[in-house]
Amino acid sequence: MDQVFKNVKISVNTELYLKDPESTPLGKNIIGQGILLIDKVGFEKFTFKKLGAEINSNESSIYRYFENKHKYLLYITNWFWGWKELQLTMMTLGINDPFKKLLKGIEVMAHPVVEDMRFKHINEVALNNIIINESSKSYLTKKVDEENKHGHFVIYKRLVSRISEMISAVDPGYEYPFSLATTIIDGSIHQHFINQHFSSITDQRAENSPAGYFENMVSNLLKKTNER
């Protein structure tokens, strides 16, 4: 497994950048340090000028890679979903039992993120924090429909479809596979947010992962094929 996936590159819609940031050291720096900077100051206070200062480069140089900071956010969120999709594929590859496969999928989506050594310039933990705290700003805009037409959300939607297929493989009779898939994916993110900031409305438990909640959910909602 390791060898096959060793030199993977997560490919993101080319419309999202002017010049591929993966193609140069400066580009990789823009991504790597930009993620840390957004994690630190928040997306609102993040500017290309500040990022330029951070990497000893210039605002104008960053503008040669990305049109604006909104496209930048779309780029890194797409990268994140592409990365998650890769993990999902790898982790469920050898599992034949549909229910076990789904449980593994839930684990991949819900467990806290750990560093991936294959992508040295990207801090996945910081990126995951951005997904938790900022990512919905990438689609909550008046331009969603237009950007959706341009395929700016395909990776995310493909991931939802994959999970929904896993759900239907367990129970083809279940009526809401897509809704349940988004509940698992977006619900995981939201539960992490609530754990971090609104702990008074959480179901206290030691492990810092909502995986148990979603596992219990699918176990009770889905009838395995022979049961229905």
x-marked contacts with its own copies along 159-178 as a string, rule CB under 8 A: -xx--x----------xxxx
What is the rounded distance in angstroms from the CA atom of residue 202 to the CA atom of residue 19?
43
Q: Which does 137 bind (CB under 5 to 8 A by kind): its own copies, DNA, none?
A: its own copies
The reply on whether position 197 binds its own copies by CB under 8 A is: yes
The nearest distance, CB 122 to DNA, in angstroms, is 18
Q: Distance between CA 114 and CA 17 in Å, rounded?
A: 27
How many Å apart are CA 88 and CA 196, to the nearest integer? 25
Residue 55 tokens read as 């990497």
Shortest reach from residue 124's CB to its own copies, in Å: 20
Integer CA distances (angstroms), 68 to 59, 73, 133, in order: 11, 9, 20
Instruction: For residue 86, give every residue at least 6 positions away whose Cβ sits within 8 Å of its Cβ, in sequence order, or none.
Output: 5, 8, 10
- Distance in angstroms (rounded) separating the CA atoms of residues 154 and 53: 33
Three-class secondary structure of residue 103 per DSSP: helix
What residues between 200 and 219 interact with its own copies by CB under 8 A? 200-203, 210, 212-213, 216-217
Taking CB under 8 A as the criterion, the residue among 45, 49, 100, 228 binding its own copies is 45
Contacting its own copies within 122-161 (CB under 8 A): 133-134, 136-137, 139-142, 144-145, 148, 153, 157, 160-161
Q: Which residues bind its own copies (CB under 8 A)?
A: 41-42, 44-45, 133-134, 136-137, 139-142, 144-145, 148, 153, 157, 160-161, 164, 175-183, 186-187, 190-191, 193-194, 197-198, 200-203, 210, 212-213, 216-217, 220-221
